[in-house]
Amino acid sequence: MEAADIAILGIAGILLAALSAAIVVERRRRRKLLGILHSETSGLCREAAELAEAICSRQADGRIVDQAVLDRYALSEPRTYPGLVSSLWRLPGDLAWRAVEFHGHLSLARARLAAWRPGESGPVSTYLLVSALLRSANGAEGLLRNSALRPGRPEDWKPHMPLANAFIERIEHTDPELMDHGYWSLPG
């Protein structure tokens, strides 16, 4: 073997080692990103489900939803989603799209909640708020399932909102034209 052959093999080995290290680092970043996404989405999804159930529970009992209830079940401001925009390319396409869609649904629910006045709002505005909260909680299910399966975590939570679902079905049954389509999404 000549010196040129040894140099070429050495350079190829260095390039291969650098490529392997880059792949390992990228996998760690992706795993960390998925973990952060999963944790925050799970918390935000639970908050949306709890608020929808609290509103519907009080309305079913004939009680007014006062500011104390809204403060107790307040929706947190997403902390990591704004920073994820620059890292979405690291996620698989279906997962990145689900994250964007969930964030859109949650933003719509937060906007409707800000405009909603407890005790003053009628059934239509309550329907629009609860449907946005339901869509936020249910929309995260696919995101949570996919982000949990990729790093090897078990699926840990599914939304259970019987009162909110019953409220939405009752309103949509009495006024089918009212159907809320919420935030835009890809055709199913």
What percent of the chain stands above pLDDT 90?
11
Whole-number pLDDT of residue 63: 83
**Residue 159 predicted with pLDDT over 60:** yes
**Residue 48 predicted with pLDDT over 90:** yes
Whole-number pLDDT of residue 11: 92
**Residue 42 predicted with pLDDT over 60:** yes
Cβ proximity of 47 and 75 under 8 Å: yes
Confidence (pTM)? 0.76
**pLDDT, mean over the chain:** 80
What percent of the chain stands above pLDDT 70?
84
Whole-number pLDDT of residue 128: 86
Longest Cα–Cα distance in the chain = 90
Report the alpha-carbon angle 53-55-56, nearest 5: 65
Whole-number pLDDT of residue 52: 93
Q: Structure tokens of 81?
A: 């989603």
Residues 6+ apart with CB under 8 A from 121: 129
Whole-number pLDDT of residue 70: 85
User: Mean pLDDT: which of 9-18, 67-76, 108-117, 179-188 is highest?
Assistant: 9-18
Whole-number pLDDT of residue 99: 81
Which CA distances in Å does 161 have to 65, 85, 86, 154, 166?
Answer: 17, 30, 33, 22, 9
**Residue 98 predicted with pLDDT over 70:** yes
Instruction: Report the alpha-carbon distance of residue 47 to residue 55 in Å, rounded.
Output: 12
Domain ranges across the chain: 3-178
155 secondary structure, DSSP code: P
Whole-number pLDDT of residue 186: 45
**Better pLDDT: 9 or 184:** 9
